[in-house]
Chains A and B, each alone.
Chain A
């Protein structure tokens, strides 16, 4: 973005950012009233369904159910990935041992593993947490390895010259130096988590937004199906927005490149 584009006045920016969305909303509100296609109901009836599902509590239950698994899986995966990534990034020997295995695991399509988890863990929470852990592990892991490898050797030398212990070096130098990579990886992981949880709930579940979409599609209650889809879109946008904000705050010490 160059300076000219950035100096647009606030009302102009709001207009530029919202006009396309507004057109889509208007089209979606009115065009289906004429096409009368069951598969694409008007936003009016979707909003009605949204109100119904919100009032009878079903929507909130499904949201909580899905997000609980997403966060549990993400947190477990990220903690392990950060620790392992730091070690793999700093100890080339360890990486040589584990890299082939990790490459195979990472390149196996996530959903191909799902049936295995279901066999072992059933269709309850545990198989879903397991698949979220599996899927979200790799983006954070790979970024952490990258970050830990790229630490400026001068910073390490400088800390070592002050007699820092190897534990201190990890926590006070390598971890903070790698943190921009780690946070970017975590944001990728969060995106993957949302994809995977929906897919997993479609395959086998009794609750959750993925199940809800799948279920209403089967019973042709399409406006309720769209409620699920739009809810996921909104959650995705907020999640990403929050993580970007967090990332910006935690890496505010970096020179802004623009």
Chain B
């Protein structure tokens, strides 16, 4: 249901990030760790794109750069045509650990972004109520986060991000910590919200099923340092429900992603550069061609 995927919302060009671990000269000096390498990606407005890849391949790093929380060391990233230089309320990030403020009630959590934005109190209360209702948790508005289950907390985290009306939602394995049954429910809920709000979503997961079920496209990443190996179109009809996983088309799409993930393992190895720096670099073990 991409609203207008012909318009590019997010794009990255040659995006890379080398982490630097500070270490005393006695222990060999700083270590440079390339976490992300040459990522070129375009995401259309209103598109739902998933990012899958082995753990440690730089998925979170990529999202943090888009969120403006980390600064890339090479290349550039753009949102709505503008280069990303720091955090901004046109993007919302949703993390696996919910990251709700435990001292704030549900209502006050959802108001947080609006508060930062300087929205007057009566209005932000109204907006927050609206989004708490959207995720169906109005009766918990005055509760504290510890009183909610994991799935409910994540719905509130989504409501909190939606409340300040960002164009883009960046979701980092948001449902990894909830049980299977709740996850199925959350998938349908997220699709419903996405269709209604027309947000552009980048969704990180290591569940292939989840990626295929939700997305317009699935980007498969290589092991560390991560780059995008291939992007798979998921031409399944919408609106989608969990029942889709039993269809042949779903299985086909799922297999395609799975095979891409199995291929060409890469490993890292410490390499001593001419100037004496120790750098972790990639060693290609085998290359499988599609």
Contacts and interface: CB of A to CB of B under 8 A. Distances in A.
A157 interface: yes
B88 interface: yes
A162 interface: yes
Contact of A157 (B93, B112, B116): B93
Given A157-B99, A168-B116, A253-B102, A162 B146 contact: no
Interface string A226-258: 000000000000000000000000011111000
Interface string B52-86: 00000000000010011100000000000000001
A155 B101 contact: yes
Given A154-B97, A255-B146, A161 B69 contact: yes
Contact of A154 (B87, B99, B145): B99
B99 A177 contact: no
Contact of B116 (A163, A179, A252, A255): A163
Given A176-B101, A254-B102, A160 B116 contact: no
A173 interface: yes
Contacts of A159: 101, 112, 116
A173 B146 CA distance: 17
Nearest to A252: B144
Contacts of B245: none
A253 B117 CA distance: 25
Contact of B95 (A158, A173, A252, A254): A158
A161 B146 contact: no
Contact of B69 (A155, A157, A253): A157
B155 interface: no
Interface in B82-119: 86-89, 91-93, 95, 97, 99, 101-104, 112-113, 115-117
Nearest to A155: B99
B95 A162 contact: no
25 contacts: A154-B97, A155-B99, A157-B64, A157-B69, A157-B93, A158-B93, A158-B95, A159-B101, A159-B116, A161-B68, A161-B87, A162-B87, A162-B89, A162-B117, A163-B88, A163-B116, A173-B101, A176-B101, A176-B104, A177-B102, A251-B103, A252-B144, A253-B104, A253-B144, A253-B146
